[in-house]
Amino acid sequence: MAKNYENLEAWKESIEVAIIIYRLTKNFPKDELYGLTSQIRRSAVSISNNIAEGAGRSSKEEFKRFLNISLGSLNETESLLFLALKLDYLDKDNFELLKEKIKNVGNLIGGLRKYLINK
């Protein structure tokens, strides 16, 4: 398996998504610190963490399972971003930027899954 997850584009891009989310959520209302802010940060971090954890597993089947979990976290993050947009915590431009980055991460994770299936 890909023990060196740091070389995986899906991991690199998911780290970038988490960094952007951390920066943007600094501007969320303080009363959301333990609510939406915390939840969106945790889901964003979970994307890269599951890629890394899966890469360190002993079989490609386990790696694929963690990639699926990562995709679930990606969907959760996107859903939370929709909520943040609707609550006016996030502006349309940043929402669209993140949505595009999330789409890209999803494509990269999907490509990695296909690679593992065909390997």
pLDDT exceeds cutoff 50 at 3: yes
Q: In this structure, are residues 89 and 28 in contact, taking their beta carbons and an 8 Å threshold?
A: yes
pLDDT exceeds cutoff 70 at 2: no
Three-class SS state of 18: helix
Q: What is the pLDDT of residues 30-69, one digit of tens each?
A: 999 999 999 999 999 999 999 999 999 989 999 999 999 9
**Encoding tokens for residue 71?**
């995709």
Structural domain boundaries, residue 13: 5-118
CATH for 68: 1.20.1440.60
Number of domains in the chain: 1
Measured distance between the N- and C-terminal CA atoms of the chain, rounded to whole angstroms = 10
Q: What is the pLDDT of residues 82-92, one digit of tens each?
A: 999 999 999 99
The pTM of this model reads 0.93
pLDDT of amino acid 119:
76
Q: In this structure, are residues 109 and 70 in contact, taking their beta carbons and an 8 Å threshold?
A: yes
